[in-house]
Amino acid sequence: MSSDQDHLKETDTEARFEFKKDENAAVKSDKGLTEEVIRMISEDKDEPDWMLERRLRALEQYQNMPMPSDWPGMPDLSELDVEEIIPYIRPDVDKREGVDDWTELPDDIKDTFDKLGIPEAEKNALSGVGAQYESEVVYQNMQEQWEEKGVIFCNMDKAVQEHPELVKEHFMTTCVPPSDNKFAALHGAVWSGGSFVYVPEDVTVEMPVQAYFRMNSEGMGQFEHTLIIAEEGSEVHYIEGCSAPKYGTHNLHSGGVEVFVGEDAHVQYSTVQNWSKNTFNLNTKRAICEAGGTMEWVSGSMGSKATMLYPCTILKGRGATDTHITIAFAGEGQDIDTGAKVYHNAPDTSSTIESKSISKDGGRTNYRGLVHIADGAENSSTAVECDALMFDNESTSDTMPYMEIEESKVDVAHEATVGKIGDEDIFYLQSRGLDDDDAKKMIVAGFIEPITEELPIEYAVELNRLIELEMEGSLG
């Protein structure tokens, strides 16, 4: 490919994420968190009383919790002022529950998702698509073949209205209660939008379902909630993409994810995040896995000023399995603190954690993980591998693995490597006709291959391209 073609491709990819639209809100809350703001959000959604009560309890818990500050090496959150964040913006759409016909969207919103490639992705590779703009899902569609098998894929606001018993039982109760941490409580108070996925017993959804979350307005917070229930013997792959343009003030993303994996069920949750470098990305993601179930987390974390993200799986039943494959990239002024948590609470459970991180221009990456094997979880096994690649002497990479082993009949392995891109490797590739930049890109592509090979091809291509742009300093 010629250099002109490369530049054109780079420009097109940048344009997909960095464009901005004028704000066109039907409803916009005041800044900060007050009971009045919470009641306004709930009233605008026409929620039942039980959901408002849960929001208000979460608000009280949030107000009584201190900001996290005592974790060793944690990102600096001192610039984040939640009282300056706008927690709720409903875009000007005709139906609050979203539309299922792309042509019904307002032109500015449709153009946003057209540029992000959402309609094309739906046509080519997906069973269903949800698209969230600001605080609300504006588009949702599920292929009829899965609806006929009883699969439910809708936004969370619609699920509260149409599937209240399922939501009441699972929403922020046993998996991610508001008491879990301050940002989980914040999320429980102001959550809006997100996805609800229900897969009946023994149903395999053979094509992925996707949700895309876009923040457009300056100084806002996005708090989508994803709830996935996979009944016994079922299988589903959920993919989420996230992006936001860069502004002069900070944005906050504090989503919540709850996954319930039934006996012998299989759920894969894949994320490609490209937040702008003024965004604080503070999420809570957790799965509960029953006997014989399999949970897989595949994550690509780029962008953001600071990220704190540690997907967690509780292996509750005998023979349950958990896999984490993550890639993090930190450039100048970024602190990407990611990892994984696994609780082995039953015998014969197994987990694998593979973490890859890249840092350049003074950026910092950190793997922060926890593996807990409970007393009685005999014959369980875990393997943790953390690999870090640094471009220069100014960048840093840390590894903070915690192992809590209460059972003797287990198999535990941990391996970590940290290194710079070697001059000899670059020299070898240059001797084969590559220039310096292309040589580095090839080394990085090989380094992250375990992640990209787990994604559908169009997402793997996008992840590779995003990392190339980060390496070139072209994003955010």
CB 260 within 8 A of CB 289: no
User: Does pTM surpass 0.85?
Assistant: no
Below-50 pLDDT ranges, the chain = 1-23, 95-97, 99, 109, 112, 116, 118-129, 135, 137-140, 474-476
* CB contact set of 148 (below 8 Å; sequence gap of 6+): none
* CB contact set of 433 (below 8 Å; sequence gap of 6+): none
The one-letter amino acid code at 256 reads: G
Rounded CA gap, 403 and 385, in Å?
A: 13
Rounded CA gap, 400 and 413, in Å?
A: 15
Res 100: pLDDT: 53
How far does the chain reach from its first CA to its final CA, in angstroms?
Answer: 25
Selection from 375, 437, 432, 430 nearest residue 408 by Cα? 375
Res 222: pLDDT: 84
CB contact burial 85-100 (16+ within 10 A = b; e otherwise): bbbbbbbebeebbbbe
Q: Strand runs (DSSP E) across 304-390, as ranges? A: 306-309, 312-315, 321-330, 335-344, 350-359, 364-373, 380-390
Question: Read out DSSP for 72-123?
Answer: TTPPP-TT--GGGSB--EEES-S-TT-BSSGGGS-HHHHHHHHHTTHHHHHH
CB 297 within 8 A of CB 327: no
Give the pairing type, strands 25-28 and 89-91: antiparallel
Res 153: pLDDT: 86
Res 14: pLDDT: 46
Res 162: pLDDT: 94
